[in-house]
């Protein structure tokens, strides 16, 4: 009884920590967008030219060439940079709404390039960090406790569903090649982008060009006896190999090709046949007898006719009991030996006739 109660408590806590995602699972992949990212990031091109390129700047320029992307990007930049008063630098609620509209309505081939662009220098990495205007949408005067921030997020049904979706698609899995559930980078990147514009908005913690670390604006100070749970929650962002691998793979334009899970079936192979001498050119596999003879044999066998009542039956007997000597044109009966070992049939008949005449 005690074990059962302990199991129920563990199950409840597990459900409380990782809630089920209300969204349909993402089964498609980002192969086409990854290839575009590879083209724009210069993967496979001259390494010197690629290293000097600011891919985040290139992504912003590409956005400006698309009317919808340019319009919605200009909108959230204007709103998030608008100072309300000397003590209130912006309207965070409106900034979050404008960001949600941008990431929900602009195709991911533009938004992902701005959010997950690969960087080789500090300037590029800082532009990447500034993508969501973090001074308004992300940072605050003080960092709240992560569990308190999670509690605030869960009071809003949309923020709660986006957080659950992130955990479902980005939770580190040590049974897959990429450390992502079902080896699906797209599901993780989409869930991450889906949290931008809420209280749980994540972002890059610094401008490091190579060390990718993202986190919500929170810490685990003052967690009390919930510190372990808080640290675990925070590590799902800061030390998440699935999320880190997905961001790096997109920035480098290197999607993963993973075979579908399930039992592996080997291709059917032709049974091995020992090499035997080929049949002579004037004989076929049926020992020279036509298909009509085989058909006759079948009907005769089914009707149960006697051997001495039909000429066709004698042909059947010949077809079914003869073999071909490999490498020759001779057809012999199975029980026959060398011709010199037994008297011929003609000699036997002649001896019988001579004996009758003598009598």
Supply the angle between the helices 31-41 and 241-252 in degrees, to the nearest 10. Answer: 60
Using the predicted structure, report yes or no on whether residue 257 has a pLDDT greater than 70: no
Higher pLDDT, 173 or 264: 173
Higher pLDDT, 175 or 233: 233
pLDDT at position 188: 95
CA–CA dist 243, 204 (Å, integer) = 12
The residue written with tokens 């925070």 in the block is: 234
pLDDT at position 86: 84
* Strand 323-324 with 331-332, pairing: antiparallel
pLDDT at position 75: 97
The tens digit of pLDDT for each residue in 34-57 reads 445 444 444 444 455 455 689 999
Using the predicted structure, report yes or no on whether residue 359 has a pLDDT greater than 80: no
The tens digit of pLDDT for each residue in 133-184 reads 999 999 999 999 999 999 999 999 999 999 999 999 999 888 888 899 988 9
CATH architecture observed for domain 54-258: Orthogonal Bundle (1.10)
Q: Return the percentage of the chain with pLDDT > 90, whole number.
A: 49
The tens digit of pLDDT for each residue in 291-322 reads 333 333 444 444 444 444 444 444 443 333 34
pLDDT band at 356 (very low <50, low <70, confident <90, very high): low
Q: Return the percentage of the chain with pLDDT > 70, whole number.
A: 57
pLDDT at position 163: 97
Question: Which secondary structure element, helix H or strand E, spans residue 203, and what is its range?
Answer: strand 202-204
Q: Specify whether the CB–CB gap between 200 and 159 falls below 8 A.
A: yes
Residues 6+ apart with CB under 8 A from 33: 108, 109, 112, 250
Higher pLDDT, 347 or 171: 171
Question: Residue 32 is encoded by which pair of tokens?
Answer: 């086409």
pLDDT at position 351: 60
Mean pLDDT, the chain, as a whole number?
73
DSSP letter (8 states) at residue 333: -
pLDDT at position 245: 93
pLDDT band at 288 (very low <50, low <70, confident <90, very high): very low
Task: Give me the mean pLDDT over the 250-258 stretch.
Answer: 63
Q: Give the phi and the psi of residue 323 in degrees, each rounded to 5.
A: -130, 165
Long-range Cβ contact pairs of 115-119 (< 8 A, separation 24 or more)? 115/193, 116/37, 116/189, 116/247, 116/250, 116/251, 117/41, 117/55, 117/56, 117/58, 117/59, 117/251, 118/41, 118/55, 118/248, 118/251, 118/252, 119/54, 119/55, 119/56, 119/209, 119/210, 119/251
pLDDT at position 154: 95
Using the predicted structure, report yes or no on whether residue 277 has a pLDDT greater than 80: no
Using the predicted structure, report yes or no on whether residue 1 has a pLDDT greater than 80: no
The tens digit of pLDDT for each residue in 67-117 reads 999 999 999 999 999 999 888 889 999 999 999 999 999 999 999 999 999
pLDDT at position 281: 39
Q: How many CB atoms lie within 10 A of CB 92?
A: 17
CA–CA dist 52, 75 (Å, integer) = 30
Using the predicted structure, report yes or no on whether residue 253 has a pLDDT greater than 90: no
What is the pTM for the complete model shown? 0.63
CA–CA dist 78, 89 (Å, integer) = 13
Q: Give the phi and the psi of residue 324 in degrees, each rounded to 5.
A: -110, 130
pLDDT at position 236: 96
**CA–CA distance from 79 to each of 72, 83, 194 (Å)?**
11, 9, 19
Q: Give the phi and the psi of residue 269 in degrees, each rounded to 5.
A: -105, 150
Instruction: Find the DSSP H helices in 22-178.
Output: 31-41, 47-52, 55-64, 67-80, 92-105, 108-115, 122-129, 134-137, 146-154, 157-170
CA–CA dist 237, 235 (Å, integer) = 5
pLDDT at position 210: 81
CA–CA dist 192, 166 (Å, integer) = 6
């Amino acid at each position: 009884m005690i074990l059962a109660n302990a199991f129920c408590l563990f199950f409840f806590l597990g459900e409380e920590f990782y809630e089920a995602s209300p969204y349909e699972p993402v089964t498609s992949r980002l192969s086409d967008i990854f290839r575009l990212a590879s083209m724009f990031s210069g993967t496979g091109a001259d390494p010197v030219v690629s290293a000097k390129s600011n891919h985040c700047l290139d992504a912003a320029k590409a956005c400006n060439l698309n009317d919808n992307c340019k319009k919605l990007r200009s909108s959230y930049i204007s709103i998030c940079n608008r100072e309300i008063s000397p003590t209130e630098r912006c309207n965070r609620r409106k900034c979050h709404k404008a960001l949600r509209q941008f990431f929900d309505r602009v195709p991911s081939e533009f938004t992902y390039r701005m959010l997950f662009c690969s960087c080789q220098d500090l300037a590029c990495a800082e532009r990447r960090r500034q993508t969501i205007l973090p001074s308004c949408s992300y940072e605050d005067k003080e960092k709240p406790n992560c569990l308190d921030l999670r509690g605030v997020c869960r009071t809003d049904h949309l923020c709660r569903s986006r957080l659950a979706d992130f955990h479902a698609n980005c939770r580190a899995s040590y049974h897959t090649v990429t450390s992502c559930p079902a080896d699906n980078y797209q599901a993780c990147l989409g869930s991450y982008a889906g949290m931008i514009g809420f209280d749980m908005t994540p972002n890059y913690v610094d401008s490091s060009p190579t060390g990718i670390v993202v986190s919500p604006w929170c810490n685990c100070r003052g967690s009390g006896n919930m510190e372990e749970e808080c640290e675990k929650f925070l590590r799902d962002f800061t030390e998440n190999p699935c999320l880190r691998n997905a961001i790096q793979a997109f920035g480098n334009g290197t999607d993963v090709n993973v075979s579908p899970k399930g039992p592996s079936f080997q291709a059917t192979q032709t049974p091995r046949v020992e090499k035997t001498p080929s049949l002579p050119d004037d004989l076929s596999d049926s020992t020279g007898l036509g298909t009509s003879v085989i058909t006759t044999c079948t009907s005769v066998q089914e009707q149960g006719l006697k051997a001495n009542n039909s000429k066709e039956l004698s042909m059947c007997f010949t077809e079914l009991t003869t073999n071909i000597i490999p490498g020759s044109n001779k057809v012999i009966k199975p029980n026959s030996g060398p011709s010199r070992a037994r008297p011929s049939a003609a000699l036997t008949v002649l001896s019988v006739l001579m004996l009758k005449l003598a009598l």
